[in-house]
Structure 1
Amino acid sequence: MTNNAISVSEIFTGIYQLKMPLPFRLNHINLYLLEDVNGWYLIDTGLNTQLSQELWAAFLQSGFFTKPIKKIILTHLHPDHIGMSAWLSEQLAVPVAISACDWAMATFLWNNGDAAGEKIYQQHWTHFGLRGSQLSEMVELRGQYKKLVKQLPAEVEIIHPHDRLFSSSGTWEFLPGAGHSPEHMALWNSEQKLLISGDHLLPSITPNISLHPVGLRNPLESYLQSLEEFSLLDCKHYLPAHGAISSDFRERINQITLHHQQKFADLMNQLPTRFTVVEALPCIFSADLPAHQLLFAYGETAAHLIYLAERGLLQRDDDDPWLFINPFQVNSAKYTVDRPATRLHTSPC
């Protein structure tokens, strides 16, 4: 895609995909427009950058919109989704909608990016076994959310699970999926068998599932449970935030589930009897990562270990740092890959 205009295409009748550039290796995000008889619903907004503002300003003046944008809907709180929402809301005088749990997390990250949040984040990373300059570097990154988002909407409307949105393309139901964020909202159109999946289900990469200082106690369990529930949908195509529109819905859910199961097996079979999160990371990620990627890698490693500890497969000593005890190594047993048992999904917050 080019960086001098927003790429827009009608992918299904009344459903448009916008491609907005990102300054990362993942170089764009897919946004969506749902047409209605008297306006549009915008799904996600892009990262808050000068380029994004210029592209949005040009697009809004391009003549594409002969009807107004009625509402901005956010699948979740991450900067590439929420970033431009405040600017667009002000420019267009339209409301912004997001789930309650994701809005709570967004305001926490926004309000704890300075010295007030240092103690919270220092304790969080100390639990993982970080010390010295490594600890300082991770704590310093707590301010990245505010730097990337730059502005939160002054107020929002709350999306509740199973709320409905009515458009020319049919009725869309909001489906909660915890894990990647506290209460990610996908949009499900049962008539057309279409799912706007946001970051919850991606066709070629796996969404990061991290343990944060607040929010989900066991994010990976929440995520895997949610995938089990989503697999019951009779979905023909899913429309992701990153990657191509895809039709391998159940196959992709199985691939992601087995991906995490393989990480469980790697941890259980390769790690010593006693270890910290820091010591476990090289088992499933490269330790030679830049700081911002290490932040996600540590968070996801911790999420895997908490999942195993909650299921009784590891024991956890809650001293600082957390110390995990691996009974498989004590007993010379072998952990085998298996799908997690289906459980009823509970509210994430």
Structure 2
Amino acid sequence: MTTLPALEFPFVEMPAYGKVQEVAEGLLWVRIPLPYVLDHVNVFLLQDHDGWAVIDTGTRTPEAIGVWEALFAGPLSGMKISRVVVTHFHPDHIGLAGWFHDLHGARVQTSLSTHALCRLLSQGRSEQTIQQNFDFFLRHGLSPETAELISIHGREYPQYVAPLPSRFQRLVHGDTLTIGARSFRVMTGDGHAPEQVMLHCADEGLFFAADQVLERISPNISVDATEPMSDPLGHFMRSLRQIEAEVPDNVLVLPGHHRPFKGLSARCRDLVLHHQERCDTILAACAKRPHSAADLVPLLFQRQLDPHQMWFAITETLAHANRLIRRSQLTVIDQSDRSLLTLA
């Protein structure tokens, strides 16, 4: 996806691992390495009354922990982490929250959905769940070999996420969260993750957007076997419209990945347009003949995909299909061995 010329980037370069970028007084930006194609996550530190608050953490890997240890031995020396604010349940954001709790006694603040999903997924994937995934992907047109490879997606969750404390403080949309001298309005948005937490500081024009609004890419919007008829794309687009309506355009957007930027409204509209274009591509294909979701993947993702990437591609394709089904533009033809999509 291309970024619009309307975006402004106060920081041309991203900080190297182990380095700190000051964003404002009492607000720091560090990056933590990830074991994925998307190779980093942004972490922000806010000065608090009794230490520092960390917004997101990185995964539980030796590389990520090594960067944190280097930071605490260097530019963050002597800093106590008083709390961890977790935006959503994905390992790159919540993975070290339990580690900070054990190391610093940091309390965890997040949404109920985030805490519950993390605790559930930390128990590991059952054979029943893996079989359910396999049957689901097979029905949507993947080969048995590919379906088997991607059905274990998420099995590594307990490896990448430190055990989360059972006690936490729930953040709810509309709450006011005070961190040090700053006051934030809590916002939550769906689509990428249930009840993803965002924070808006109106006094200083700061918007911690997590993965909901990113500079260069659209976050993954997925439908899988657990909730096969869900409409996360509809939820995501509704959230973008709400953000554009409620958060001023001139805020500094502090995202979960890539660079902070200004131009929130333009970016929200660009993301909506991107997904509308993908829906149009699906409609044009299905107007010619019925397609399985797997048939549609190469139309939306025109590159070679490894099994990890294929999971994201097929589940995001299904998210677009479900949006079109909700809009009564597509319907499903259920055959004995697979499901096909055609115009309604």
Q: Is TM more than 0.5 here?
A: yes
- From 81, 104, 113, the counterpart of 1:69: 81
| In 2: Cα distance, 1:312 partner to 1:133 partner | 33
Any idea what SS the aligned residue of 2:156 has? helix
Could you give the per-residue CA deviations for residues 11-45 of structure 1, whole angstroms, max 9, x where no partner exists? Answer: 01221111112233333211011112332111000
Q: Give the Cα separation in 1 of the matches to 2:138 and 2:122.
A: 21
The CA RMSD over aligned residues, in Å, is 2.2
2:233 to 220, 227, 237: 220
The answer for the alignment partner of 2:281 in structure 1 is 266
Counterpart pick for 1:234 among 248, 268, 285: 248
Q: Secondary structure at the match of 2:151?
A: helix
In 2, Cα distance between the equivalents of 1:277 and 1:198?
A: 29
CA contact (8 A) 1:33 1:42 kept: yes
Question: How far, CA to CA, are the matches of 1:174 and 1:318 in structure 2?
Answer: 42
Residue 53 of structure 1: how far off its partner (Å) = 1.5
**What is the identity, as a one-letter code, of the residue corresponding to 1:219?**
P
Q: What TM-score do you get using the length of structure 2 for normalisation?
A: 0.87
Deviations 1:233-257 (A, max 9, x none): 1142100111111011100011111
After the TM superposition, which residues 86-105 of structure 1 pair with which residues of structure 2 at under 5 Å, given as runs? Answer: 86-105=98-117
Cα drift, residue 156 of structure 1:
4.2
Q: Where do 1:1-349 residues align within 5 Å? A: 6-62=18-74, 64=76, 66=78, 68-149=80-161, 151-157=162-168, 158-214=170-226, 217-232=230-245, 233-235=247-249, 236-271=251-286, 272-286=288-302, 288-317=304-333, 321-327=338-344
Shift of 1:169: 4.8
SS of 2:122 mapped into structure 1: helix
Partner of 1:334 in structure 2?
none
Cα 1:48–1:298, aligned 2, differ >3 Å: closer, same or farther? same
Letter paired with 1:56: W
Q: Partners in 2 of 1:287 and 1:243 — Cα distance?
A: 22
Q: Distance in 1 between matches of 2:109 and 2:52?
A: 14
Q: Distance in 1 between matches of 2:176 and 2:104?
A: 23
Secondary structure in structure 2 of the residue aligned to 1:7: coil
Conserved? CA contact 1:14–1:169, under 8 Å: no
The answer to whether the Cα contact below 8 Å between 1:195 and 1:239 also exists between their aligned partners in 2 is yes
Question: 1:133 and 1:144 mapped to 2: Cα distance?
Answer: 20
1:282 match: secondary structure: helix
**CA distance in structure 1 between the partners assigned to 2:213 and 2:110 by the alignment:** 18
- Deviating more after overlay: 106-115 vs 68-77: 106-115
Conserved 8 A contact 2:20-2:75: no
Give the conservation status (yes or no) of the 8 Å contact 1:34–1:169. no
User: 3-state SS of the aligned residue for 1:242?
Assistant: coil
Which residue of structure 1 aligns with residue 3 of structure 2? none
Q: What residue identity is the alignment partner of 2:80?
A: P
Preserved contact between residue 128 and residue 277 of structure 1 (Cα < 8 Å): yes
Percent same amino acid at aligned positions?
A: 26
The separation in 1 between residues aligned to 2:173 and 2:236, in whole angstroms, is 16
Q: Report if aligned partners of 1:281, 1:287 keep a CA contact under 8 Å in 2.
A: no
> Gaps spanning 5+ residues in structure 1: where?
328-349
- Change in 2 beyond 3 A, CA 1:192/1:63: closer
Structure 2 counterpart SS, 1:140 = coil
| C-alpha spacing 1:99/1:309, structure 2 compared with 1 (3 Å) | same
The 1:283/1:156 distance shift into structure 2, 3 A limit, reads farther
Q: Deviations over 1:170-208 (max 9, x none)?
A: 211210010111111111111122100111100111111
Deviations 1:56-95 (A, max 9, x none): 2232343735553211111111111111111121111122
Distance (Å, rounded) in 2 between the aligned partners of 1:140 and 1:312? 32
| 1:266-313 C-alpha deviation (Å, 9 max, x unpaired) | 111123332211111122113631010010000100000000001101
Structure 1 Cα separation of the partners of residues 36 and 152 of structure 2: 20
Partner SS, residue 162 of structure 1? coil
